[in-house]
A and B are shown apart, each in its own frame.
Chain A
């Protein structure tokens, strides 16, 4: 499978715990995005990378959230001191700009439940 992969697929944690999610993008894609999706809503942008550089963080991303892409390949998203409001699907997408256009391809997501 050469698509975007995410691990774990599901995570249940207690409030106050830290969690980390991983995303492996399509190998030739240099751009990687993180989104959060709650029930009945479309995905909301959180942050993105071009190679290893984190170019933007949404105001949705509080100080408890941090993302890295250390070698420009896989990325991790960490949530510290989780809150019940963090429960959501966390989606990763990868892309490559070609001819002034970009198409994003999504991974299967990590579904987080904070108890």
Chain B
């Protein structure tokens, strides 16, 4: 079983819509979580860090549920430029901060 699992999608949504998707992690010792955005054939870019119950940055909201071991990402008022693959990442201080990536969730925002 992979340490981080994501629904691969794709999620196809119209511009302006709200889209949300989850990620589950298997290691209960995971302390830090991240959402990275990756465009086709580009490097992952940090979207958001999640250390406590959640984080909000503009149109993006991440929620962490430690009891159920999942993290969600919600995108409000989707823009065409939000089309990308979103990578969910977990790390543990005890594992010296090495990142465990999910395979990514693909989001396509259409006009």
Residues of A within 8 A of B (CB): 31, 33, 40-45, 48, 55-56, 91, 95, 97, 100-109, 111
Question: Contact residue range for chain B?
Answer: 20 to 34
Residues of B within 8 A of A (CB): 4, 8, 32, 34, 36, 41-46, 49, 51, 87, 89, 91, 93, 96-104
**Cα-based distance from A91 to B87 in the complex (angstroms):** 15
Name the distance in Å between A72's Cβ and chain B's nearest Cβ.
17
CB nearest neighbor in A for B45:
A106
B51 touches A101 (CB 8 A): yes
Minimum-distance CB pairs A-B, first 10: A42-B101, A106-B43, A102-B97, A42-B103, A106-B44, A108-B43, A109-B43, A43-B101, A41-B103, A42-B87
B96 touches A42 (CB 8 A): no
Set of chain B residues within 8 Å of A104, measured between Cβ atoms:
46, 97, 99
Set of chain A residues within 8 Å of B104, measured between Cβ atoms:
40-42
Set of chain A residues within 8 Å of B87, measured between Cβ atoms:
42-43
Cross-chain contact of B98 among A42, A48, A108, A111 (Cβ < 8 A): A48
**Cα-based distance from A102 to B4 in the complex (angstroms):** 19
